[in-house]
Chain A
Amino acid sequence: MTALLDIANYSLAYRTRGTETTVLSAIDLAVGEGEVLGLVGESGSGKSSLAWAIMRALPSNAREDGGTIRLRGDDLRAMGPAKLLEVRGGRIGMVFQDPATSLNPTLTLGRQIVEVLKQHRGMGRAEAHREAVEALRRVELRDPEALMARYPHEASGGEKQRVGIATAFACRPELVIFDEPTTALDVITGNRILELFRRLRDETGVGGLYISHDLALVQKVADRVAVLDRGHIVEQGDARRIFTAPQADYTKRLVAAVPTPEHRLVDDQPAGGEPLLTAEDIAVTYGRKRLFRDKRVAGNRGISLSIGKGEILGLVGESGSGKSTLAKAITGINRFTGRILYDGRWVEHERQMDRQYRAGIQIVFQHPDASLNPRQTIGEILQRPLRLYGGDVKDVPKLLEQVRLPADFARRYPHQLSGGQKQRVAIARAFAARPRLVICDEITAPLDVSVQASIIELLLELRRAHGTAYMFITHDLNLVRQIAHRLAVIRGGELVDLLNAEDVGAASTHPYTRELMAASSSLVSNG
């Protein structure tokens, strides 16, 4: 019996400025009928290139070095353009990573699914419209008829990804490729998307190739898993087996790096005594009052919490819940009402935040690409806070050493560094001010699991050396439960739960906290 998708001895390289980089070497991969194969790899492993190779949509500098890609025996590499149009979107459906950017902002959601039905199933306008409404209903979207007329910006992230899935399944494909479909969504929304996928798979019996960097998540959806490391498949086999008894060294490292709440990385308790910072009744509103209509939106409402000296407070919630809004209020980036007690002084307005306050409370942002000035060298970036907060500009090498970067990085520019290295620079910049509290706003979200683990390790090391407190903002409950002393759960701008990390799951836990926990994908524990 031939496999649904059969890739044999396939190699691929990219050519840039005369040099050739191998991206995939001698890949052997098969997806059986009705099977879901998880393809796991970190960024740069070549997993997206493989998806493009299957879809025959490789960039122009790609060079294929032999091998075959067959869909039910048909050689995709040998197909002409007309045949390929039938394969793309027809025989192979694809769900993309970020629903916010993969849908055309200027076309209605309905039109973007109707066009596929017209193209692949030869439907007329009215028939395609009816079928599209049905397709949207099948992915559990409410009021699909109304959704058809809406534009992408008028739908939520979860709704958009459902439209993407409906589109991928609309033409009854033989195979569906999922390219990190939940990465851009928050935990709860992502989890619902996974449930939907499992249901659709049971109903349609479609085969799937599920690409992700998240092992725990892949384990939930895949029958078999292939692990990709720098273009090589290092291990392939039953999904459960891969995670419980990994064979290859690389897989072992990957599995070990996945955060599990049972495995605590912090075992001390904060010093106690007077809290380092107390926030009382913090509220933030966005937008402004207009002449005729009040367009203000509440970002935060009545949030009161405190952080002890050397404490790690985890701040968790879905995207848009107001986590970053609170962080920006405390650092004085957002205008707020309410008051903050720091160092024996009440602050009621961002203008009252003096140099001492601003030095004491530092923030590290999610995307180092956006928070590091691309035109400044690392040295210049680090000298700024040193100068501003009375440090010695000659301390740049020390700062770099603290975050385990070589001293000669001071001469480099941000684009010459990897994502993890850039985030280390951002951390060094925060520590240049000798802060007592560092707010980490989703700082590990864009990083691979192994890099994420090393950044966490670094933060804990710095805390041991300086006694720094952290406010750790994340949507990854498993990760934060490893390190936080207390968890603050925020939803719709309000604080719904504040509990000790070890009390998670206790009777007093708020139902919403339970829902978040249930949605967080966690590896099945060994044995």
Chain B
Amino acid sequence: MSLSWFLKRLALIVYTLLIVSVVVFGITQVLPGDAAQSVLGENATPAALAALRVKLGLDQPVLVQFAHWLGGVLHGDFGTSIRTGQPVGPMMFTALGRSLILTVLSLALMLVIAVPLGILAALRRGRAADVGVGLISYLGVSVPEFVTATVLLIVLADWLQLLPATGYVPLAEHPIEGLKHLVLPVLTVSLVLVAHVSRMVRSEMVDVLHSDYVRAARLKGLPERVVLVRHALRNALIPVVTIVALDVGYVLGGIIVVEEIFALPGIGRQLIVAIESRDLPAIQAGALIMAATYAVANLIADMVCALLDRRIQYD
């Protein structure tokens, strides 16, 4: 892993984001109705609409509008929300922060559950434990997250009254309350992800356990624990890292349902609100920020893979 590789990857991310921004901007252009229409409503007079369009710069050619928008983005100015009249940037970044907390905690919990389950299934291949893990996995994959969320909500929040059902409390202000509010969404998301990651760990472990070097490690007289962790798991985790990076994208964008159910104002929820209210600057900012986070997550995954396996040479 060299510095030049890293710089190249960064350049590639910038390039990717540029394309994303064109697509995002282009789509908001072809949507029926424009920002002026959505601000003034359906009963607006043509004169008022025209005046607002001039004010918002909507009378300019598309390319000029795009350049203007992109210039703003590069200065950290994502425009003003049509819905709230507030700057879009801070609003979206606050939401992203909440989503990232959810993402990191969910992925961490998921790994803590999925990796040992996968190892267990690989070691007990074809036996009860393997079948059990497989069953849980398929259940996890096939049950939609809103069902998982609802069941957890009913059991933990309603029956047992252990946790608050919905809402969000900033961690910085009330750490304990904040964590309590996070437990249910984190649990839901990680349970959904445990399924495929544990399957992945299992199949990778099965392969690695049959490898020559694991047999060699055993025949060198190393204790089973060392063989499993140092020699087998390390190699089995390399492909898993890539999959986990893809999950980052899923958790950020795909779990709007979970954010909805637990009333967690993450970036997914913000984006839904923005789409509902035709808040174009907010949609553009949300999509762009998500794409950037996703790209960075993949970069990190590639770096972790290179650290785990020195044969991977990026240049």
Contact = CB atoms under 8 A, between A and B. Distances in A.
B88 to A, nearest CB: 39
Contact of A57 (B215, B234, B235, B310): B215
Residue picked from B215, B221, B234, most chain A C-beta under 10 Å: B221
Interface majority SS on B: helix, strand, loop or mixed?
A: helix
B310 A96 contact: no
A116 B218 CA distance: 11
Nearest to B235: A106
B276 interface: no
B309 interface: yes
B310 A153 contact: yes
A352 interface: no
Interface string A287-304: 000001000000000000
- Chain A contact residues (Cβ within 8 angstroms of B): what range? 20 to 34
B222 A89 contact: yes
Contact of A103 (B213, B221, B308): B213
Given A101-B211, A107-B231, A151 B311 contact: yes
A88 B219 contact: yes
A103 to B, nearest CB: 6
B232 to A, nearest CB: 9
Contact of A86 (B215, B221, B226, B310): B221
Residue picked from B220, B223, B308, B310, most chain A C-beta under 10 Å: B220
Contacts of A115: 220, 222, 226, 230
B163 interface: no
A104 B221 contact: no
A88 B218 contact: yes
Contacts of A94: 216, 219-220
A453 interface: no
Given A106-B234, A153-B310, A153-B311, A90 B213 contact: no
Contacts of A167: 220
Contact of B212 (A101, A116, A120, A151): A101
Contacts of A154: 310
Contacts of B216: 94, 96, 102-104
B111 interface: no
Contacts of B211: 101
Interface string A131-146: 0000000000000000
B217 interface: yes
Contacts of B226: 115, 119
Nearest to B313: A153
Nearest to B226: A115
B219 A57 contact: yes
A102 B213 contact: yes
B221 A119 contact: yes
Interface of B: 4, 211-213, 215-223, 226, 230-231, 234-235, 238, 308-311
Given A57-B219, A98-B212, 5 more contacts: A94-B219, A105-B213, A107-B230, A119-B223, A153-B311
